[in-house]
Amino acid sequence: MASQLRIVHHTGYRYAGLIGASHNEARMTPRATREQVPLATKVEVTPVAWIHNYVDYWGTPVTAFEITEPHSRLDVVATSTVDVGERAVPAPGAEWDDIVEPNFADRYIEWLAIGDHVDPGSELRKLALETARQADQPSQAATEILSLIRKKVAYVPGSTQVNTSASAVWANGAGVCQDLVHLSLGALRTVGIPCRYVSGYVMPQADPAIGEARTGESHAWLQYWDGAWVGVDPTNNTVPGDYHVEIGVGRDYFDVPPLKGVYAGSESSDLFVEVEITRLG
C-alpha cells in the first residue's frame, strides 16, 4: 500500500512580554527518501522573518530564520503533502564479522557514539551484551534487545522531560517515544550496531478516512544498520509503514528538534505545538 498525507504542524513560543529579537531553526519539512516523496512543502513564520533554507550535516532540511523586531509571540506553520510508500524490509544482511571489521567502526563512528542522552546505564548495557553474545546475527540481537526494552519500559505520556536521560527512563520504567528511542540507541550501540534517531510524524489512527483531519504529534523511531538502514518504531512495536513521515535523522533528539533557537530578552517563554494529519489518498 501507499498513502498521501497532508501534515500541518503549528508551533512557536508565547513570551511573557516583548523580546528584542530571536534566531531559530525549524526542522519540520519532510525529506525525500526512497520511501517518501514530498509533493509540496512550505514554512510560514510570523512575525515576518529573514529565512534561509539548507540541508544540515545529517541530511535533514532546515529552515533557519531571524526576527529582528520586538515581538511577544512566534508562530511557525509547516504545511507538507507527502506520498509515502511501503518501507522495504530487507532480509538480514550484516554478520558479526562485518561489525568487528577494523574499518567498520571508523565508517559508522557517529552512529556508534554513546552520549549522555542515550547512555542506557550499566544494567541495560550488561543485558544487551549478554543478548548479543547469544544471537547468531546482529539483526537477531537488535530484535531481542528492543523486546527487552519494550517489556521493561511503558509508554506513559508526560512521564519525562526533554532532558531526561535514557538511564533514568530505564530505572523508572516509563517514558515517551523519544525516551524509548534513546534507550534503544544506547543499547544497540553498546553491542556495536550502528543506529540513528529518526524524527517525523505518524498518523494516530490505523485506518483513517480520506479527507478527515486527525490530531497528531511529532513522533520518533530509529533505524539500525543491517547492510541497509532498517526502521523500527519501538513505541508502537512495529516497523515504520505508509503512515510514517520522516523529517530527519541524527545521533539523538537534540540533532533534530522540530524548533530550537535563542532570543534576546529576560522574559520567560511557553512552547506550544499543534499537529494535524490528513489522509488524502
Identify the band that residue 92 occupies on the pLDDT scale cut at 50, 70 and 90.
Answer: low
Contact 9, 78 (CB under 8 A): yes
- Determine the Cα–Cα distance for residues 120 and 35; give it in Å rounded to an integer: 31
Helices H / strands E in the chain, number of each: 6, 15
Q: Beta-carbon neighbour count of residue 12 at 10 Å?
A: 21
Cβ-contact 19, 275 below 8 angstroms: no
Please state the separation of Cα 167 from the chain's center in Å.
19
* pLDDT at res. 243: 92
Q: In whole angstroms, give the CA distance from residue 85 to residue 136.
A: 31
**For 32-51, what is each residue's pLDDT tens digit?**
998 999 999 999 999 999 99
Query: What confidence score (pLDDT) does residue 91 get?
Result: 67
Q: Which residues, 6+ apart, have CB-to-CB distance to 1 below 8 Å? A: 86, 242
pLDDT confidence of 88, banded at 50, 70, 90? low
Q: How many beta carbons lie within 10 A of that of residue 126, not counting itself?
A: 12
Half-sphere exposure of 212 (CA within 13 A, CB side): 7
Percent of the chain past pLDDT 90, that is, above it, reads 86
Beta bridge partners of 278: 6, 213
User: pTM (2 decimals)?
Assistant: 0.94
pLDDT in tens, 153-180: 999 999 999 899 999 999 999 999 999 9
- Helical pair 138-152 and 122-133, crossing angle rounded to 10 deg: 140
Residue that the C-alpha cell 516497523 belongs to: 239
Q: Which three cell numbers stand for residue 73?
A: 509571540
The answer to whether residues 164 and 147 touch, using CB atoms and an 8 Å cutoff, is no
Q: Within 10 Å of residue 226's Cβ, how many Cβ atoms? A: 21
CB within 8 Å of 222: residues ≥ 6 apart = 181, 184, 185, 188, 195, 196, 197, 198, 231, 232, 234
Residue 9 pLDDT exceeds 70:
yes
Lowest mean pLDDT among 51-60, 81-90, 93-102, 153-162: 81-90
Q: Which strand (E) or helix (H) includes residue 213? A: strand 213-216
